[in-house]
Amino acid sequence: MTQTTHTATAAATDERADLLEALAKQRYFLRFTTRDLTDEQAGQRTTASELCLGGLIKHVASTERSWVDFILNGPSATDDFTAMTEADWAQRADEFRMLPGETLEGVLAEYEEVARRTEELVAALPDLNAAHPLPKAPWFEADARWSARRTLLHIIAETAQHAGHADIIRESLDGAKSMG
């Protein structure tokens, strides 16, 4: 009985380590796109989209923070996207750009704090299977539920997707690439 319990605990620990390692790798690639940039460059749009490198990091940090709040408190911790006003959407759009007074150093420091909080939560969660109903949003299936595990996988996927966006923006800015 003790051996089975120990093996189950080791497997859970290994799973958590794997999830955190995958997330750390994607965070690295996202942050790496900002190496040696000025605040002005971090806020510069280089493609047809509204995205800039500093804004992408702000958005990923905000999204990760929101999903961690969801893991802890369920959908009450997040926005009801079906009830958002134009002003709410405009405020949300500010996540995607560097605003006056914001610095790349400040944006990266905030992202580091969000990462630290996520890592502490993953280590302390009693059960990765604990699930909550998803918040209301037109892009979610009605009555769907996500476990903490599924939510962490979503955070990893979101970070990876935006790291790819950031790589394109950086290459368009000055030719630098994350890989290759």
Q: What are φ and ψ of residue 133, in 5° steps? A: -65, 145
pLDDT of the residue at 81? 73
In this prediction, the residues of the chain whose per-residue pLDDT falls under 70 are 1-12, 180
pLDDT of the residue at 11? 47
How far apart CA 72 and CA 6 sit, in angstroms, is 26
CA 17 to chain centre: 17
- Whether the Cβ atoms of residue 180 and residue 171 lie closer than 8 Å to each other: no
| pLDDT (tens digit per residue) in 7-57 | 334 444 789 999 999 999 999 999 999 999 999 999 999 998 889 999 999
pLDDT of the residue at 82? 75
pLDDT of the residue at 10? 45
